[in-house]
Amino acid sequence: MKVETTRTTGLEPAEARLPRWMVGLAALATVAALAAGQPRFAAGLVLGAGLALVNYLWLHQAVEHLMTARHVRLPRLLIAKFILRYPLAFGGAYLLYRTGWVSLPGLFAGLFVPVGGVLVEAALQIRDGLRAP
């Protein structure tokens, strides 16, 4: 009886590529907004993408620490980041929006940059899966 095995790869390469996809998509969208003559939209996009990227990195750091922790107690700085990330992000974004420096649609577009990064990485994973023998 022959057992069929499937090749599985680790998630580390995909985890390493995700922030790069996010930064690349944000840069591409920002250049497109500036080329279209929308500097406020581009500023909102940069702000939203920056907030989303920091949020992703902090969340990734917290989950990674939880999965590799040998003890139950988390560092205080990690807890502070986890609790304060949304109030700080929303407060800063609201302040910049109210001053008129950024546009709200640009801010929301930037906040969705991680979704685009995940979609690009998913497409690459599907392509690599289809090419595998």
Predicted pLDDT at 41? 94
- Is the separation of the CB atoms in 81 and 58 below 8 Å? yes
Predicted pLDDT at 99? 85
- Is the separation of the CB atoms in 55 and 85 below 8 Å? yes
Please report which helix (H) or strand (E) contains residue 111, including its range.
helix 104-111
Per-residue confidence in pLDDT tens, the chain, 133 aa = 454 444 545 678 888 899 999 999 999 999 999 999 999 999 999 999 998 998 888 888 878 877 777 776 777 887 787 788 788 878 877 887 788 888 889 989 999 999 999 999 999 888 888 887 7
Residue 109 tokens read as: 């577009």
* Domain spans of the chain, in order of start: 15-131
